[in-house]
Amino acid sequence: MRWITKSLFWLGVVSAVVLLLARGAAFLREGDPRAAILPPEGRLVETSEGAIFVLEEGPVDAPMLLFAHGTAAWSGLWAPTLKEMSAEGWRAVAFDMPPFGFSDHALDRDYARTRQAERIRALVKALGVKPILVAHSVGAAPGVEAVMQDPSAFAALIVVDGALGLGAHEKNESLPFILRLEPIREAATALTMTNPWLTRVFLRGLIHVKEAASDEVVGVLTRPFEREGTTAAYSDWLPSLLVPPQDALSTRKENYAALTLPVVYMWGEEDTVTPVDQAFALNAATPGSELVLMPDLGHIPQIEDPDAFLLALELALGLIADQSAQ
């Protein structure tokens, strides 16, 4: 028994040292104010919920596609898609969902799904248009929530491999005790989410086409990591990922049945993060919706095969036009 106790003690010591080193490295790395590293190709849009960073392509008077990204990404991951869709005559806009990228970190430190949805609605109001919302992965959760909060603010909805947690409110789960301690949660975040040395490893775990985790894509994902306060803000966001929301509209099946605007679900058939069974369940729960499957693609189809993704997106937009005409 003594050797077990000794081993556990040293394991705890080593773990603590690793976490402290990771947090220290993040502190040293995150030395730049946002103004010093703000991408010049985008702009900050002032909203009632703070400044939201956007990238945009295409004519300002064209119909808008508004793109929402997934976990630990930012609008830069959509840049190739924006260029292609603007060439098709769309006003293509991608935004950074706080705390990711270059938008304001939330002053209230609240990144619950319902608050994130309010931030999306505030952006839409500031942009002054009714966009077609294209929401990916974890970004689909506040995206769908925003649509359910105010359907009249959106022209249509496209969910791409959405992490929506249908029925998740039925689970009464809480944040693990160890992660309720802010210093430990920040250190764990620094070791994982904001650790540029592990970005490629985590990305490869999410996608089916492994070679898509290229130097270029990893470079895009890590671009905001030098911003002041990144690890602390991501740490504030982490509970919203790990704990199912109890007050969200978008976890309840009956609210999908009530949607009346055009809806299309786009899904990689090889998605192991949000398996395609979830797409079938969502499509069945949403009267009049359409499902576009993408063969041989996984959870992030827009980087795994950009051409195949664009073809699927154009098909989805055609289906939306058909739904709108009915």
Residues 6+ apart with CB under 8 A from 87: none
Contact 139, 68 (CB under 8 A): yes
Contact 280, 234 (CB under 8 A): no
Note down the domain range covering 81. 34-325
Q: How far is 25 from 116, CA to CA, in rounded Å?
A: 29
Q: How far is 290 from 182, CA to CA, in rounded Å?
A: 43
Q: How far is 157 from 136, CA to CA, in rounded Å?
A: 11
Q: Say if 61 falls within a structural domain.
A: yes
Q: Which helix (H) or strand (E) holds 14?
A: helix 2-29
Mean pLDDT value of segment 52-56? 98
The total number of residues shown for the chain amounts to: 326
Q: Say if 9 falls within a structural domain.
A: no
Residue 193's SS3 state is coil
Domain count along the chain: 1
Residues 6+ apart with CB under 8 A from 12: none
Q: How far is 127 from 142, CA to CA, in rounded Å?
A: 18
pLDDT at 181: 86
Q: How far is 64 from 298, CA to CA, in rounded Å?
A: 26
Q: Say if 145 falls within a structural domain.
A: yes
Mean pLDDT value of segment 133-158? 98
Q: How far is 262 from 244, CA to CA, in rounded Å?
A: 27
Model confidence at 13, in pLDDT bands (50, 70, 90)? very low
Burial of 230 by CB count in 10 Å (0-12 exposed, 13-18 middle, 19+ buried)? buried
Residue 12 has pLDDT above 50, yes or no: no
CA separation, residue 315 to residues 13, 33, 292 (Å): 55, 41, 8
% of the chain beyond a pLDDT of 90: 81
Q: Say if 6 falls within a structural domain.
A: no
- In 194-300, which ranges are continuous DSSP H helix? 199-206, 215-222, 230-242, 253-257, 276-285
pLDDT at 161: 98
Q: Say if 248 falls within a structural domain.
A: yes
Q: Say if 190 falls within a structural domain.
A: yes
Q: How far is 190 from 172, CA to CA, in rounded Å?
A: 28
Find the range with the poorest average confidence among 143-157, 159-173, 215-229, 305-319. Answer: 159-173
Q: What is the largest CA-CA distance in the chain?
A: 74
Model confidence at 179, in pLDDT bands (50, 70, 90)? confident
Q: With the C-alpha atoms ordered 215, 134, 140, 45, is the resulting torsion angle positive or negative?
A: positive
- DSSP one-letter code for 297: -
| pTM recorded for the entire structure | 0.93
24, two tokens: 């220290």
Mean pLDDT value of segment 49-59? 97
Which residues share a beta bridge with 290?
A: 264
pLDDT at 176: 87
Angle among Cα 170, 119, 106 to the nearest 5 degrees reads 95
Backbone angles phi, psi at 67, to 5 degrees: -100, 130
Q: What does the pLDDT look like over 96-136, one tens digit per residue?
A: 999 999 999 999 999 999 999 999 999 999 999 999 999 99
Q: Say if 79 falls within a structural domain.
A: yes
Residue 124's SS3 state is helix
Mean pLDDT value of segment 304-324? 95
Q: Say if 29 falls within a structural domain.
A: no
Computed on alpha carbons and rounded to an integer, the radius of gyration of the chain in Å comes to: 20
Model confidence at 10, in pLDDT bands (50, 70, 90)? very low
Closest CA to 106 of 159, 131, 142, 144: 142
Give the CATH number of the domain where residue 304 resides: 3.40.50.1820
69, two tokens: 């990204």
